[in-house]
Copies of this chain bind each other. A is one copy, B any other.
């Protein structure tokens, strides 16, 4: 079974998710610059979610590039990941409209946590099909980022009920960890193939 349609369908869903979030950015009624101020938290949460979906697309892209066999369980694990990512616009809108409120900030983390778990499940299924000596298994390696992210999400979910801004800061931190290329991993990967860099791990 070709992976082409799996990639095409995932690209389609991710492209729509990343774009429909902008529908929350409703033009203000006033025409002064100050009329844009209430939109700032909405814009910030849009940017954060845009970056997260971008990271997922990027990692998904790399992982499937190194995938050779697509099995039934992989198809369903992929749909499971897309399901959790499809809730990102919903929690983004709730956080954007209720800046620094505890429950929305925590739920944002829950959705990110579930997406990370779904990505990990998808990765397990692909690694099982590819085998332990595959390029992907080498590229994923110890998957430090993939193990650190869920812990930081859990921390952020707890922090949301004490200091909501701390939860937001942790979400930005995780995004940053994924955006900054990991030099050590990169070096280990040069033995494999440069383009495989960052193939593994969910945000």
Which A residues fall within an 8 A CB radius of B?
Answer: 1-2, 5-9, 11-20, 22-23, 25-28, 31-33, 35-36, 47, 50, 54, 57-58, 61-62, 65, 70-72, 75-76, 79, 82-83, 86-87, 89-90, 93-94, 97-98, 101-104, 107, 179, 181, 195, 197-198
Contact = CB atoms under 8 A, between A and B. Distances in A.
A60 to B, nearest CB: 9
A121 B32 CA distance: 31
A47 B102 CA distance: 25
B22 A23 contact: no
Nearest to A98: B31
Given A5-B11, A22-B86, A97 B27 contact: yes
A27 B35 CA distance: 22
B65 A22 contact: no
Given A31-B98, A36-B103, A72-B198, 12 more contacts: A1-B61, A2-B65, A12-B14, A13-B15, A13-B18, A13-B19, A26-B93, A27-B90, A27-B98, A31-B102, A50-B79, A72-B181
A22 to B, nearest CB: 5
B101 A31 contact: yes
Contacts of A102: 31
Nearest to A94: B27
